[in-house]
Amino acid sequence: MMKSILVWLLATFLLTAAPFAHAQQPARTPRIGYLDNSTASGSAVYVDGFRQELNKLRWIEGKNITVEYRFAEQKPERLPELAAELVGSKVDLIVTVGYPATAAAKQASIVIPIVMANTLDPVGSGLVASLARPGGNVTGLSSLATELITKRLEILKDAVPRLSRVGLLRSSGDSISLNPQLKLLRPAALALKLNLEDITTPLDAKGLESAFQTAKQKQVGAMMTISTRPLFAERKRIAELATKYRLPAIYPEDGFVDEGGLMSYGVDLDDQFRKAAHYVDKILKGTKPADLPVQQATNFEFVINLKAAKQIGLTLSPEFLSRANRVIK
C-alpha cells in the first residue's frame, strides 16, 4: 500500500513539474555596447584584439554574447545620442574608447557598468574618484598619452639632431585650452630649444594635404601628432603625406608605423584593449565596477620603420636603433 502511494506521489510531482520546466526561459545572452568616436575601419585592428581576448575568456560573439557597436565617425557631437541608443537597447555593459565616449556613456547612465579601453587622465577629468577606488559605474584602463608626448619630442630631436622647428599636427576640432597634452608639450619644446608650430586642419584629404604644405612653408623640419582617435583613423594618409613631403615624423601609436610611418613611441594599445576584455569578463560574472581598480598602462613600445627612413633620406645611428623594441626593415 505504502509503495503504491509513493509511486502515485512521484507521478503527480513529475506531471506537475513538467509544464514549469517547459515554460522556463533560456538564460538571457549578455549584451555589450561598444562606443568609439572613431570609425569602424579606423578602429578595426584594436576591436579585433578585444574580440580575440573575449574568445579566450569563452565569450563568443553571436553565441553567448552580443555586441552593439556605435562609431561616431569622428563627429564627437554624436556621442551622447549614440550612448543613449546603447542605454535604450538595454545593454549590460558599455566599453568606451577615449574620454569623449566615456563621458557621454557616463552621462547617459550612472547605473550601467562602463569599461574604459583607453582614456586619458580619468581622475583629473572626473570620470572616476581615484585609480584604486574608482567608485560609481566606471572603471578600466588609463593611458599615459599626456605624459608620453614630451618623450616623443625628445626622441624626435635625437633622430634629427639639427632639428629646430617641429610641426604639431592636430584636428581643427581640438581645443588647445582643454588638451592636457599640449599644456605639457610647449614647455618641453622650450627646454629642448625647439620652435613648435601648431598646424590645425580638417581631417579630410584636402585638409591634410594643405597642412603638410603649410608645414613646408613654415620650414618645419619634422612632424608629430597628438594622441586622438580621429587622427589615428587617418594614420595611413598622414604617413603617406609625411613621406611625400620628406618630413621625419613620430606618432603615438604603432599603427601609424604599420601603415608606413617613420616611428612611434607610446602605449601598447593592443594590450590595453585585450585587458579591457578581462574587465568585461569580471563584470559579467558579477564583480562591480567600483571594486575594480583602474589600471594605468604598463607596456610601451618604440617602433622604427627603416624603409620609411630611407624613403625620406634620413640616416639613423646604430645607437638610436638599438633603443627600439621593434625595427621594421
pLDDT at 245 over 90: yes
Task: Find, among 237, 173, 176, the residue nearest to 204 by Cα.
Answer: 237
Domain residue ranges of the chain, discontinuous segments joined by +: 31-144+268-299, 146-267+301-328
Its CATH class, for the domain covering 31-144+268-299, is alpha beta
Please name the CATH architecture into which domain 146-267+301-328 falls. 3-Layer(aba) Sandwich (3.40)
Cα separation, 112 vs 73, in Å, equals: 24
Confidence class for position 203, pLDDT limits 50, 70, 90: confident
Res. 177: pLDDT tops 50: no
User: What mean pLDDT comes out for the span 152-163?
Assistant: 94
Confidence at 71, pLDDT banded by 50, 70, 90: very high
Q: What pLDDT score does 20 carry?
A: 46
31-144+268-299 and 146-267+301-328 share one fold: yes
- Provide the pLDDT confidence category of residue 184 given band limits of 50, 70 and 90: confident
Compute the distance between CA of residue 192 and CA of residue 232 in angstroms, rounded to an integer. 26
Predicted confidence at residue 22, as pLDDT, reads 45
For residue 76, what pLDDT is reported? 87
Q: Write down the pLDDT at residue 26.
A: 53
> Where does the pLDDT of residue 130 fall: very low under 50, low under 70, confident under 90, or very high at 90 and above?
very high
Residues in the chain: 329
Nearest CA among 154, 145, 172 for reference residue 297:
145
pLDDT at position 108 over 60: yes
Question: Would you say 251 and 235 are in contact if contact means Cβ atoms under 8 Å apart?
Answer: yes
In this structure, of 34-38, 231-235, 236-240, the range with the lowest mean pLDDT score is 231-235
Q: Does pLDDT of 175 surpass 90?
A: no
Which comes out higher in pLDDT, residue 104 or 120?
104
Q: pLDDT grade, residue 277 (50/70/90)?
A: very high
pLDDT digits (tens, 9 = 90+) for 13-32: 444 544 544 444 456 899 99
pLDDT above 70 covers what percent of the chain? 89
pLDDT for the residue 18: 46
pLDDT given at position 176: 46
- Per-residue HEC secondary structure of the chain comes to CHHHHHHHHHHHHHHHHHHHHHHCCCCCCCEEEEEECCCHHHHHHHHHHHHHHHHHCCCCECCCEEEEEEECCCCHHHHHHHHHHHHHCCCCEEEEECHHHHHHHHHHCCCCCEEEEEEECCCCCCCCCCCCCCCCCEEEEEECHHHHHHHHHHHHHHHCCCCCEEEEEEECCCCCCCCHHHHHHHHHHHHCCCEEEEEEECCCHHHHHHHHHHHHHCCCCEEEECCCHHHHHCHHHHHHHHHHCCCCEEECCHHHHHCCCCEEEEECHHHHHHHHHHHHHHHHCCCCHHHCCCEECCCEEEEEEHHHHHHCCCCCCHHHHCCCCEEEC
d(CA 253, CA 302): 9
User: Could you tell me if 145 and 227 are in contact, meaning their C-beta atoms sit under 8 angstroms apart?
Assistant: yes
pLDDT of residue 9: 46
Q: What is the mean pLDDT of residues 212-216?
A: 95
Q: Residue 21: what pLDDT?
A: 44
By percentage, how much of the chain surpasses pLDDT 90? 67
Task: For the chain, give the mean pLDDT.
Answer: 88
The pLDDT of residue 6 is above 50: no
pTM of the model: 0.80
Average pLDDT for 224-246 = 91
